[in-house]
Amino acid sequence: MDVIVFHNVFPQETFGMLIAIYFYLTGLSAGSFVLSTLAYVFGMEKFKPIGKIGVILAALFLIMAPLALLIHVGQPFRSWHLFVYLNITSPITWGSFLLTLYPINAVIYGWYMFRGNARLTRLFGIIGIPLAIFVHGYTGFILALGKARALWNTALMPFLFLVSAMVSGIALMILISLIKDKFFSKERVINRELIFSLGNLLAGMILIDLFLVMSDVLVLLVSHAEAQEVAHLLLKGKFSIFFIGVENVLGKIIPALLLLIPRLRSLSTVTIAAMLVVIGIFIMRYVVVVAGEFLHLV
Amino acid sequence: MANVRYGMVIDLRKCIGCHTCSVACKSENSVPLGVWRSWVKQIEKGRYPNVRKSFLPLLCNNCENPICVTVCPVKASYRREDGIVLVDPHRCIGCRYCMAVCPYDARYVNPLVNIVEKCYWCDHLVDRGLKPACVQACPTQARIFGDINDHNAEIGRLLATSPVQVIKPEMGTNPKVFYIEADLDAMKTERKG
């Protein structure tokens, strides 16, 4: 049957690039924070050099992230409403408190770390880990509760976000450690052991991320009409270059191969892998947000 | 007046696709250029000589279980006792979350004041005992508005005696705009990929 639909009313963009940037920044922040606790809470001594970088990055990104929100909302001067008129069923209400508590805790944690107070550093690190998980997990719930959008409305979304937060956090940490060792340290010697352990961690996280993305897409492909529509949008349609090419091949599969094949293993391949991952996860945030809201619903 | 639950029936056997409802709504509610509270989707089907043009007038469904109210972080969106879902213009922060989660794309940001708005079934008219502007303006009386619990009113009679359907019942939002003889192809999510 021939059917022609006349497009006369076009829905406005809802979240768009700014929210994708916001998700990216909170992800980097949560990932960096968890990495910094590896040494200072869990006592893994080989990760000691990244503890201080991690906490600085975590605080910086989480101070930058809400700025994207302030630009995005229509009435930024009404932001105080979020703390006065609470709606417990809205993830954004949870987020307004997480986005306040988490950076404060990160600053206190960092303060004690730089003062060398191991006991209090550990205490605030332990408080910070659940906060870091929730501050990024809640952004997954923002999308997961968007029941009109097939790509978002999945219980996998918070997990997908947490794993991709770790992936991007580790990759950024590799890059920052390399730059710091090469240009800003006294000895100008790269800590190879640290970089390769981070590389192993990164490879593991990428594999988990690939598994989650695969299960998400496989279920979308056989689910209800809109889910199939959005799966085709990702695999064959307008977003296929971003989703398959950049996010998954360049951003996950190639870095995983570079990190896992022993013959390829060197400082330069780890660097390339980390750079690809940092770009790939940004594209992942973009695809999830923009492809998710791409379809007209009626 | 206890237990009033407003609803709307759109009888597509009568709809001629003239867009009077869209224009009446714009005029009554001063809706800015580029955004709509009520609009008419059109489709053309078939090949000559077996053709048909179908219409689907769209507006906020003022759902019984509105997801926009669930997710609004500042409770700017709320549901009245009689079922009309409103947005408090002084409280909305313009975060657009309600727009993103609405299965019917019923909401928009008013570009003049940067807050989210939608169809309120002309609550200012309904509270004075009048009908919404689109219902008053419809030249073929395809839109019927009233209390769906009132079995003697025209809306109650139509709901009881006609096969009606709603858009996307699977969303569990329990919409309160009912269509008689709506076309399946007009109610689908648009294919854009």
Write the CATH number for A83.
1.20.1630.10
Tokens of A82: 């979020």
Q: How far apart are CA A128 and CA A47, in angstroms?
A: 18
Instruction: Say if residues A135 and A238 touch (Cβ distance below 8 Å).
Output: no
Is the bond preceding B49 in cis, omega lying within 30 degrees of 0? yes
**Are residues A104 and A59 located together in one domain of the fold?**
yes
Nearest chain A residue to B45, by CA: A3
Q: B55 in helix, strand or coil?
A: strand
Task: Dump pLDDT digits (tens) for B2-45.
Answer: 689 999 999 999 999 999 999 999 999 999 999 999 999 999 99
Task: Dump pLDDT digits (tens) for A242-259.
Answer: 999 999 999 999 999 999
Task: Dump pLDDT digits (tens) for B73-86.
Answer: 999 999 999 999 99
Share of chain A above pLDDT 90, in %: 85
Total-model pTM: 0.94
Establish if A294 belongs to a structural domain. Answer: yes
User: Which residue range forms the structural domain that includes residue A130?
Assistant: 14-145
pLDDT at B191: 66
Task: Dump pLDDT digits (tens) for B110-135.
Answer: 999 999 999 999 999 999 999 999 99
Q: Is the pLDDT of residue B175 over 50?
A: yes
Establish if A126 belongs to a structural domain. Answer: yes
In terms of Cα–Cα distance, which of A268, A254, A129 is closest to A203? A254
Q: Which of A96, A121, A145 is the last residue of a domain?
A: A145
A227-231 CB contacts, 8 Å cutoff, 24+ apart = A227/A150, A227/A151, A229/A150, A229/A295, A229/B189, A229/B191, A229/B193, A230/A149, A230/A150, A230/A151, A230/A291, A230/A292, A230/A294, A230/A295
**Are residues A83 and A201 located together in one domain of the fold?**
no
Q: Which of A95, A124, A145 is the last residue of a domain?
A: A145
**Are residues A37 and A141 located together in one domain of the fold?**
yes
**Are residues A18 and A137 located together in one domain of the fold?**
yes
Which domains are seen in chain B, by residue range?
A: 6-186 (3.30.70.20)
CB contact under 8 A, B96 and A81: no
N- to C-terminal Cα separation, chain B: 48
**Looking at beta carbons, which residues of chain A come within 8 Å of B70?**
89-90, 145
- Does B183 touch chain A if contact means CB atoms closer than 8 Å? no
Establish if A5 belongs to a structural domain. Answer: no
Establish if A4 belongs to a structural domain. Answer: no
Establish if A3 belongs to a structural domain. Answer: no
pLDDT at B188: 83
Instruction: Say if residues B20 and B139 touch (Cβ distance below 8 Å).
Output: yes
Q: How far apart are CA B187 and CA B190, in angstroms?
A: 9
**Are residues A32 and A114 located together in one domain of the fold?**
yes
Q: Which of A126, A145, A164 is the last residue of a domain?
A: A145
The backbone torsions φ and ψ at residue A151, rounded to the nearest 5 degrees and listed phi first, read: -70, -30
Establish if A105 belongs to a structural domain. Answer: yes
Helix axes A118-144, A16-40, angle to 10 degrees: 150
Task: Dump pLDDT digits (tens) for A192-201.
Answer: 999 999 999 9
Structural domains counted in chain A: 2
Establish if A1 belongs to a structural domain. Answer: no
- Does B84 touch chain A if contact means CB atoms closer than 8 Å? no
**CA A74 to chain centroid:** 25
CB contact under 8 A, B103 and A85: no
- Does B103 touch chain A if contact means CB atoms closer than 8 Å? yes
Local confidence band at B1 (pLDDT 50, 70, 90 cut-offs): low
**Are residues A134 and A185 located together in one domain of the fold?**
no
CB contact under 8 A, B43 and A8: no
